[in-house]
Amino acid sequence: MGPSAEKANAVLIGMPGSGKSTLGVLLAKALSRPFLDTDISIQTQQGKSLQQILDHDGIPCFLRIEESFILSLDCSQHVVATGGSVVYSARAMEHLRSNGILLHLDVSLLVLRQRIQDMASRGIVLAPHQDLTELYTERMPLYGRYADVRIPCDRKGHEEVIRQILRELADRGVR
């Protein structure tokens, strides 16, 4: 880990629809830390939506943009919500881990199906003819590989998930 636990970022990883952006804002408030949503930052930097990047430039280009953005991050004591596809880059994940605690927001496929209604327009890195089940099967081992902490989120409200994350961070010296 980087300089010290109290300076570490709290980095949220997980599937699209797992609540990274929503819970990230709430966690940042609870910790009195700045919040960074990498998807929003990439959209701002590129001047177009994630879906426009995927549609016009393709998945490999989007993944290069995402990796480059993550590798350029130089922050501490932030809450960072990542895009679900960040786990495709080992370099990006190691960079995030170098000064962060990686928290996997683990949501079941059943719950994700209920939450995600806009697969085609949401900016999800999805190969042609790939569905949510295949994406879930492909990514879950990657989240497991990189996560420092797994946070089960099914059947829990936002407040309960935030309390669990705060306990896990406190156990690691992050306040």
**What's 27's domain CATH number?**
3.40.50.300
Distant-in-sequence, close-in-space partners of 167: CB < 8 Å, separation ≥ 6: none
Distance of CA 9 to CAs 1, 20, 116, 140, Å? 10, 14, 27, 22
Residues 85-93 have a mean pLDDT of 97
Would you say residue 175 lies in a domain? no
Does residue 170 register a pLDDT over 90? yes
Q: What is the pLDDT of residue 175?
A: 79
What distance in Å separates the CA atoms of residue 14 and residue 102, rounded to the nearest whole number? Answer: 10
- Give the count of domains, the chain: 1
Would you say residue 172 lies in a domain? no
Would you say residue 94 lies in a domain? yes
Residue range 66-81, pLDDT digits in tens: 999 999 999 999 999 9
What distance in Å separates the CA atoms of residue 134 and residue 140, rounded to the nearest whole number? Answer: 10
pTM attached to this predicted model: 0.94
Would you say residue 102 lies in a domain? yes
Would you say residue 32 lies in a domain? yes
Q: For residue 45, what are the domain limits?
A: 5-166
Identify the residue with better confidence: 2 or 6: 6
Asked if 64 and 56 touch (Cβ cutoff 8 Å), the reply is no
Q: What is the pLDDT of residue 123?
A: 74
Helix (H, G, I), strand (E, B) or coil at 28: helix
Would you say residue 15 lies in a domain? yes
Q: What is the pLDDT of residue 54?
A: 93
Residue range 90-116, pLDDT digits in tens: 999 999 999 999 999 999 999 999 988
Residues 165, 114, 129, CA angle at the centre, nearest 5°?
Answer: 110
